[in-house]
Structure 1
Amino acid sequence: MSAQFFETEPGPDDLAAPVARTTYGDVRGVRAGSVAVWRSIPYAAAPSGTSRFAPPQPPSTWEGVRDCTNFGQIAPQTMGAMVPVDSDLTMGEDCLWLNVWSSRHDNARDRTSNADEPRPVLVWLHGGAYCLGTAAQQIYDGHKLAATGDVVVVGVNYRLGALGFLDLSSLGDDFVPNLGLRDQIAALEWVRDNIAAFGGDPGNVTLFGESSGAGCVTALLTSPRAGGLFHKAIAQSPPATTVFGQERAAVVARRFLELMDLPAARAKELLACPIDRIVEAAGVLLDEIPLKEPGRLAAAPVVDGELLPTYPIDRFQQGRSHRVPLIIGTNKDEASLFRLFRSPIMPVTPDAVNVMLRDVAAGHPEWSPERIAEITSAYPDLAKTRGALAMSTDAAFRMPAHWVADAHAQHSPTWMYRFDYATPMLRAARVGAGHATELPYVFGNFGTLNHDPTFWLGGRKIAMEVSGRMMRRWVAFATHGVPAALDGSKHWPPYRLSARTTLVVDTVDRAVDDPDRELHSVWGEQAVGFS
């Protein structure tokens, strides 16, 4: 990671720049109105060489003031259309850093009356199917969320794909599983130890994420190592049952070695081979597996017996998730975006969905042909694209979120939502409330895509109102533990198994009891997924 260090006294132009003291050294950011911003603060050392497949280690300390005004390297990955990344960002292994947006941060020489009041902290885990994305994406800019809620927002960059979520531990002692999750835990430990210097309250941390980032949230909610590092959680469209066992992980590891043209006896050479070669082989693997086995991913969290003692969904249903308040939900039309981008990550054709069902049934001997028939009967259009999209949405996101909510609500305050809102253009494009379409509403960031079509047919005014309500609810939850919009908006009752009350987020929010009642009755309470 490139960094600038200031050994001398700051000049007049530097005095307005926010400076914070971390346990590793001082860091300088920039001011943007009422918000102070730091980019790419290292929370761990670069995981390269012999550390490439090892747990994160603390960064080296530095003298002077480290310049944290520009983004550092993003995690090595195969770029794809579904996750737009700025062209001026560079990939590299020095990618374990985080961003901080702090409202009303003050240097010691620029102190105000409220400078000593610690503010709630929201820590963001980006999505991208465990193999794509970065905390440097414009859509995750925390400026508006920090300013709206008078909070501190942290965006975490972590290892992805073969370097973060491909379990190679079956190949030898040089490889450790769940490195992406370990990076996230290291970032949360950094927040615990350092966020007070940025105006944040280390005793009031909300962990939130979307898609695979939300899958990490649900996994960490069941990880003993993560206990006490966050005090509330928000999971937006979590693939909560996409967690693999070690046997499955070993099969994928062997295939990865084949693509690297390495025999098992030479697996250690992965520590020294060019990173571009690893990224290229991983790209093939990450596309190959979901095409051959619809519904499966190549890279995902793995039950390792330590960080994840068993499948997270089992831990939830055993009542062993961390006792913290939780918001969890999905989007109405999750699978539509995968159809639009022709992504293999989710099965979106009738044939692919049928293969997925057969594979899931094969991994669950207790599933009888009658059970399969009962589930498929709930999707009368299964032979058409519309039915395939609905089945894929429910299998990957909707039902896993409900299974988590049903279990977690037994011991901790839980709220469920369904994001239904779509602008006229997204409705016309048959995307609707597709996967990830809630992100600009949560962060208040629209227009972060080149030639963004969101408002081509209007709808901006209503979208701004929906966004305002979502931001206020998320901030109220982080601040007080209750997602009230505090503006007279619809009351959002807690989720309880007896009613399964869900907030349907739309032009006008409404609370609906068990809007997915038919799905519950056919899928049942026994959680199923790939192992």
Structure 2
Amino acid sequence: MSAHSHPASQPNGHPAASSASAQPADVLTVPTTAGYVRGIYEQLEDGSRVRSWRGVYFGDTTAGPARFQAARPVPPWAGVRDASEFGPVAPQPTYSWTERVEGSEDCLHLDIVRPDTDRTLPVVVYLHGGSYIVGSSHMFMLRGFNMARDLDVVYVSVNFRLGALGYLDVRSLAGQACANPALSDQLLALHWVRDNIAAFGGDPQAVTVMGESAGGAAVLTLMASPAAQGLFHRAIAQSPPISLVHSRAQSTLWARELVNRLALPRMSTVRDLQDQDFADIVRAGQSMMWRKQELLHLNSCYAPTVDRQLLPEHPIDVFESGTQAPVPLLIGTNADEASFAKFLFQRARARRRAGVRLLSSFDSAAAEEVVAQYNGAHSRSDFAQLLADALFWAPAVAVAEAHAVHHPTWMYSFEFAPVVLRALGLGAVHSLELSHLFGDAQASRISVLTRMGSAADFAGVTQTMQQHWRQFIHAGDPGPQWPAYRVFHSGDPAQRLEAARDNSGADVGLRAVRRFDVESSVVCDPKADKRLAWQDYNMRQWGAGRPELVEALDFITSLLD
């Protein structure tokens, strides 16, 4: 593809529009509610091409007085705006030997890719992962050129605020603030898709919201948000750490720690934070994440916050109450999400203590019983599996169990790992499935390892997964080879979830899970004993094992209400 020069900027920082006629010259010049955009063709390796629009702004700048506020629509422009270059990433650390921060607060843009046809196609809106801290709509893996072609969709990848600027509720400081800036960004993007995607050949009545890791949790958060109702029609949540949602007490802890790390007075306000350089906020946020050592208690700095508005309750509570978005859901995890944890502790006793400490942060009464199901987490493998299940599998099962009571649900387990990853003891690590779904073995950060192995095996897993995802996106059902996840047999809607929670469905066809490997298969209720242990564990309220800290934080928040 030929190089493209960066467009000039308007005073607000957005690329300037050209003085071209307001009438579209070709299929790459498309009207939006704010103005025309002109895209480019992207040539693929097989000789085919797709249409691509990059850095299309849906929201205004989030800098200055707009920092920590709800997203606002992009101001209209005249003429035709160039959409040949990706927009800036949201402010984020670079994890280099320096403290360099990259990005811009004028980051509310999205990228669109579609096959080079004029057919109306279903839409995939993708939310990137990155622990709520890093990532972008145009990470190399997520550009979606092959996915748009292979799944025959209009692919929309969304950029949104991250870290302290997007996933930290600062309402405990004096002043006005939005509790969930990133969630407001995602909601605004979905409104933009509803109002504009038809002009790009997308069907606004067939929108699938999809994400992995933090992006998968964002999908479930949107399903739990009343403000998102009706904006999408199917959902795909891959490896979603949905239990890690902030309470008001947690938000208070981290907002005050941010002020401390910025060396500001204790009584600083939201306005004081708005006056800081965004790079200083990002650096302070990284400092408190690593030096506060709260990750030892599963207390992440950044997450969506239960705010009684955009997110009225913890998402798992919303699912269990049956008030989530009534859409088909495809959800699952990888078999070895946290295999890196095998190398964290040298002694078996330390691994067990760490496992109990992690789980006690949410439910001190049930922590020991859960750890016992993993052989006390004594071995490296057992500890790694405990951590993976705590962060990803158990929350995903809780969501699947609740959603399946009322709405179509399908669950998967991704278990394919190239020979080198198996030899290293890593297996099907976190995010490994993305190479298959996006149809690009070279885009992975560990592609040097994943390339070593059978190309036929890799291609077979890719074809199988893409067929199921395509069928789900186009029809709301991944196909007859993938049975729905069901928690009871009866079609009687009065039958409650509790009727099927105390026994395994392995013998009666309940809780079907699609396993993706060289030889894919369907299993029923895998790890049933572990599921039963986790169902009695409360993963919705952080702080049970630290009552003195939570009591003090709750006292502070009570003064704010």
- TM-score higher than 0.5: yes
1: CA distance, partners of 2:87 / 2:481 = 42
Give the residue type in structure 1 aligned to 2:29: V
Q: CA–CA distance in 1 between the matches of 2:475 and 2:218?
A: 23
* Residues 337 and 155 of structure 1, relative CA distance in 2, 3 Å threshold: farther
Q: How many residues align structurally?
A: 500
Whether the 8 Å CA contact 1:350–1:383 is kept in 2: the answer is: yes
- Counterpart residue type for residue 65 of structure 2: T
| Number of the residue aligned with 1:461 | 456
| Matches of 1:92 and 1:306, distance apart in 2 | 28
In the alignment, which residue of structure 1 is the partner of 2:500? none
Shift of 1:463: 0.8
Deviation at 1:363, TM superposition (A): 4.3
> d(CA) in 1 for partners of 2:156 and 2:148?
10
**Separation of aligned partners in 2, 1:57 and 1:493:** 42
Letter in 2 for 1:476: Q
Aligned to 1:281: 284
Cα offset, 1:404, TM superposition: 0.3
Q: What is the match of residue 43 of structure 1? A: 58
Q: How does 1:291-440 map to 2 (within 5 A)?
A: 293-337=296-340, 351=350, 354-355=353-354, 357-358=356-357, 360-361=359-360, 363-364=362-363, 368=365, 371-380=366-375, 382-440=377-435
Is the 2:511–2:524 contact (alpha carbons within 8 Å) kept by the matching residues of 1?
Answer: yes
Distance 1:318 1:429 in 2: 43
Q: What SS does the aligned partner of 2:375 have? A: coil
Q: Secondary structure at the match of 1:204?
A: strand
Which blocks of at least 5 consecutive residues in structure 1 are unaligned?
82-86, 106-114, 485-489
Give the 3 Å change call, closer, same or farther, for CA 310–463 of structure 1 in structure 2: same
**Unaligned regions of 5+ residues in structure 2, if any?**
1-12, 43-47, 489-509, 543-561
8 Å contact 1:425–1:453 — kept in the other structure? no
Instruction: Kindly provide the amino acid, as one letter, of the partner of residue 445 in structure 1.
Output: D
Paired residues of 1:17 and 1:31 also in contact (CA < 8 A): no
Aligned counterpart, 2:106:
94
Question: Separation in 1 of the partners of 2:295 and 2:472?
Answer: 41
Report 1:66-465 matches (<5 A): 66-80=81-95, 91-105=103-117, 115=118, 117-267=119-269, 268-290=271-293, 293-337=296-340, 351=350, 354-355=353-354, 357-358=356-357, 360-361=359-360, 363-364=362-363, 368=365, 371-380=366-375, 382-449=377-444, 452-465=447-460
Alpha-carbon offset, residue 382 of structure 1: 1.1
The CA distance in 2 between the partners of 1:183 and 1:2, in whole Å, is: 17
Is the 1:332–1:419 Cα contact (8 Å) retained in structure 2? yes
Q: How much has 1:530 moved relative to structure 2?
A: 4.7
- Matches of 1:275 and 1:349, distance apart in 2: 43
Question: Do the aligned partners of 1:139 and 1:446 also contact (CA within 8 Å) in 2?
Answer: no
2:491 corresponds to 1:491: no
Deviation beyond 6 Å, 4+ runs, structure 1: 347-350
Comparing 516-525 and 226-235, the one that deviates more: 516-525
Deviation of 1:53 after TM superposition, in Å, equals 1.1
In the alignment, is the contact (CA less than 8 A) between 2:356 and 2:368 conserved in 1? no
Give the CA deviation at 1:526. Answer: 5.1
Shift of 1:387: 1.5
Q: Call closer, same or farther: CA 1:362–1:145 in 2, change over 3 Å.
A: closer
User: CA separation of 1:445/1:290 partners in 2, compared to 1, >3 Å: closer, same or farther?
Assistant: farther
Distance of 1:159 and 1:469 partners within structure 2: 34
Give the TM-score taking structure 1 as reference length: 0.89
| Cα deviation, residue 119, structure 1 | 1.0
Q: Specify whether residues 132 and 514 from structure 1 end up closer, same or farther in structure 2 by C-alpha distance, changes over 3 A only.
A: same
- Whether contact under 8 Å (2:114, 2:148) holds in the other structure is yes
Percent identical among aligned pairs is 35
Q: Which residue of 2 aligns with 1:502?
A: 513
Over aligned residues, Cα RMSD in angstroms?
A: 2.5
Mapped contact 1:294–1:352 kept (Cα < 8 A):
no
Superposition deviation, residue 457 in structure 1: 2.9
